[in-house]
Amino acid sequence: MTSALGISAFYHDSAAALVDDGTIVAAAQEERFSRRRHDPAFPALAAAYCLTEAGTKLDDLDHVAYYEDPRRKFHRVLWTQIGTAPRGYRTFRRVLPEWLAWKRRAAETVADRLRALDLGAVPPVVCYQHHESHAASAFLPSPYESAAVLCVDGVGEWATTSLWHGREDRVEPLAELRFPHSLGLLYSAFTYFCGFKVDSGEYKLMGLAPYGTPRYASLIRERLVDVKPDGSFRLDTRYFAFLLGRVMTGRAFEELFDGPRREPEAPLTEREFDLAASVQLVTEEIMLRLARTARERTGESRLCLAGGVALNCVANGRIVEEGVFDEVWVQPAAGDAGGALGAALLAAPAAAGRTHPARGRDAMRGARLGPAFDDDAIQRYLDDHDLPHTRLAPEELSRKVAAELAEGRVVGWFQDRMEFGPRALGCRSILGDPRDPAMQSVMNQKIKFRESFRPFAPIVLAEDAEEYFRLGQPSPYMLLVARLTEAQRRTAPGEQDARGLDRLRATRSTIPAVTHVDHSARVQTVDRADHPVLHRLLADFKALTGCPVLVNTSFNVRGEPIVATPEDAYRCFMRTRIDSLALGGFLLHKADQPEWTESGDWREEIPLD
Amino acid sequence: MPTLRRAAAGLLLPVLYALVVVPAGLVTRLLRDPLRRRPDRAASSYWISTGQGSGDRHR
């Protein structure tokens, strides 16, 4: 039996994960503890949490597993310098000193940082390749005995897209595409050009796409990316600037797409809608071709996905909709955080092999792999701060919250262990009534303080999902987008003539708050066995309203990491217009709370995402 | 000391770039573009095999 602590760090969204004999004991992103969104620092707090959760010290572990190979990555950095000389001096000056000083020895840095935690002697650090970690995180915890595995992201060492065959307890490499030819970087270039932040604004671009028409798609195919019938592709790097500096696009890109990039926070125009629609369409086309190749090369009927591009749930939904595979499973922490988990799973496989597929289940525990707070701990917090609350039995709490939601109140829902990965899946969530046409703008502007165009996602009782969504398979991690069924759609007067953001105002279904302008929704199906507490709440809401769906958005405000502790949750509750807060077995109402005061404007302290 | 190191790096980096990286880049690119920056419309596929026996797993 072996155990390992997986670490991903020093680029984006650092994380730690602890695996013991193939079982995932704990996993969490550093940002939740440090309160710095997508924190790239060494995940000291997340690592300490994982060890505490497992009741173990570093001495007891067999390995520390690092999610990429720093030396191989350094190799890529050097070749990029050689490949771009004499035009890349600015990048050279910026990156070479840090690579020489410590980045090429990141594994040793990890050992040093762990030693500084004073939690026992550090076991040997083993490095896996970036895409190997992604592939392991996609296949090993999946519910399949065997599957095709596709990893698509920005870049790790060299690989940007990789194809694997998952069998029994291993992933075997088949083929890859290499830097600078990257679907993740193509999508990020458009994210940047449309005025959003790279590595976090990609979601916004995806949300924007249904407002536009893909009039630039043929230009993208002709000039930016050459895609072969088997899904392999190359970018024409003359149009991009990421090889030479900090920015993604330059003058050539501007000349192609009608002028300079949109400045961050500037008004959105028809061009950005259409650029978003165009790059989204091309991304979906490439993903479909890659998926078909994965099926042909492996002969498998099931697909596992990971890598940042696997968070593009619209593209994932297309793979399901087109029936390329019988079933698709996406690692909920598909981005770099999930690399920590993949590396730990590779370093500490189960001695008896993978047994969960025989039970028809995945090994992710509903992604509930982070810290939990029992009612005693929450009671202490409430008493220490003298916060008015009511303690309720679980059934009573569920009925009461369902009744408040049915009355149009917005509820902060803090239960169970924190989710691993970028999505709140009903443990650190803000919930609302999806039937209310005003709910989307209320939640966007008064609770999340974010852009009005951004859609919200529904959670639905698994047994009722097909009545509402054309999904065809479970979606427990909110990583598939599906169309609403005809029965739930409504035609709003004047909808055909509306353009751009005006389309937001139309009521186009029985659940308008979670229906995007193209009648799509990013669905999370809630199964009674997997998620009993959330299932009960949905069932209670259905009993009151006949509707088995709720709005579910992450428990945070724009630019802030999702809340981790009762204290974080209470702070977010008081800063926003959330009406009620269910903290474990306790219910708090806004009207009963003491006045909330803070020095200065807290919103200025949170950087825009 | 950090100031001294920064100053040394400030002098050394341009020299290193001009005398090593630039010539290496020019010579390498005469033989082959290490980043394969242009699409090859005539190619039928861009996949690089990484399977067992391909010997190309580690670049």
Q: pLDDT tens for residues A436-458? A: 999 998 999 888 888 888 889 99
Give the pLDDT band of residue B4 (cuts 50, 70, 90): low
Instruction: Please state, in angstroms and rounded to a whole number, the distance separating the CA atoms of residues A421 and A337.
Output: 7
A178: exposed, middle or buried (C-beta count within 10 Å: 0-12, 13-18, 19+)?
buried
Smallest Cβ–Cβ distance between B51 and the set A174, A232, A237 belongs to A174
Domain A3-67+69-127 identical in fold to domain A375-605: no
Residue of chain A with shortest Cα separation from B20: A82
Higher pLDDT, A429 or B58: A429
Who's near A375: CB < 8 A, 6+ residues apart? A391, A584, A585, A586
Q: Do you know the residue count of chain B?
A: 59
The interface predicted TM-score (ipTM) is: 0.93
Q: C-alpha angle with apex A161: A160 to A164, nearest 5 degrees? A: 135
A477 pLDDT above the threshold of 50? yes
Query: What's the confidence (pLDDT) of residue B11?
Result: 86
Instruction: Please state, in angstroms and rounded to a whole number, the distance separating the CA atoms of residues A294 and A172.
Output: 13
DSSP run (H or E) holding A172:
strand A170-178
Give the pLDDT band of residue B2 (cuts 50, 70, 90): low
How large a percentage of chain A has pLDDT more than 70? 99
* 8 A C-beta contact, residue A54 and residue A25: yes
B57 pLDDT above the threshold of 70? no
- Chain B contacts of A97, Cβ < 8 Å? 9, 13
Most B CBs within 10 Å, among A74, A75, A234, A236, to test the B interface: A234
Measured CA distances, A40 to A8, A127, A252, A528 (Å): 9, 18, 31, 36
Query: What's the confidence (pLDDT) of residue A603?
Result: 82
How large a percentage of chain B has pLDDT more than 70? 81
What are the counts of helices (DSSP H) followed by strands (DSSP E) for chain A? 20, 22
Smallest Cβ–Cβ distance between B33 and the set A83, A93, A181 belongs to A83
A582 pLDDT above the threshold of 80? yes
Measured CA distances, A423 to A37, A206, A561, A583 (Å): 13, 15, 11, 19
E strands in A510-606: 520-526, 549-554, 580-583, 586-589
Query: What's the confidence (pLDDT) of residue B59?
Result: 33
E strands in A415-509: 428-432, 457-461, 469-470, 480-484
Q: Give domain A3-67+69-127's CATH number out of 3.40.50.150, 3.40.50.300, 1.20.1300.10, 3.30.420.40.
A: 3.30.420.40
Write out residues 19-58 of B within 8 Å (CB-CB) of A: 21-22, 24-26, 28-29, 33-41, 43-52, 57-58
Running DSSP on this structure, what letter comes out for residue A436?
Answer: -
Q: Considering only CA atoms, which of A587, A606, A87, A53 is closest in space to residue A369?
A: A53
Rounded to an integer, the average pLDDT of B29-45 is 91
* 8 A C-beta contact, residue A171 and residue A344: no
Rounded to an integer, the average pLDDT of A513-534 is 95
Q: Considering only CA atoms, which of A120, A118, A119, A136 is closest in space to residue A128?
A: A136
Smallest Cβ–Cβ distance between A226 and the set B17, B39, B50 belongs to B39
Give the pLDDT band of residue B55 (cuts 50, 70, 90): very low
Q: Looking at A117-225, list the stretches that DSSP marks H as alpha helix, in order from N- to C-terminal side.
A: 130-139, 183-193, 202-208, 217-219
Query: What's the confidence (pLDDT) of residue A312?
Result: 98
- Residue whose token pair is 């890598």: A307
* Per-residue pLDDT reduced to its tens digit, A92-149: 999 999 999 999 999 999 999 999 999 999 999 999 999 999 999 999 999 999 999 9
Token pair for residue A496? 């055909």
Contact: A83, B17; criterion CB under 8 Å:
no
- Chain A contacts of B50, Cβ < 8 Å? 162, 173-176
Query: What's the confidence (pLDDT) of residue B7?
Result: 74
The CATH number that domain A178-328 falls under is 3.30.420.40
A385 flagged as catalytic: no
A5 pLDDT above the threshold of 90? yes
Residue of chain B with shortest Cα separation from A161: B47
Cβ count near A451 (within 10 Å) = 16
Rounded to an integer, the average pLDDT of A369-398 is 98
- Chain A contacts of B21, Cβ < 8 Å? 81-82, 85, 92
Instruction: Please state, in angstroms and rounded to a whole number, the distance separating the CA atoms of residues A449 and A242.
Output: 31
Any idea where the domains of chain A sit in the sequence?
3-67+69-127, 178-328, 375-605
Most A CBs within 10 Å, among B12, B32, B45, to test the A interface: B45
Contact: B33, A72; criterion CB under 8 Å:
no
Q: A375-605, what's its fold?
A: DHBP synthase (3.90.870)
Rounded to an integer, the average pLDDT of A391-400 is 98
Chain Cα centroid distance, residue A544: 32
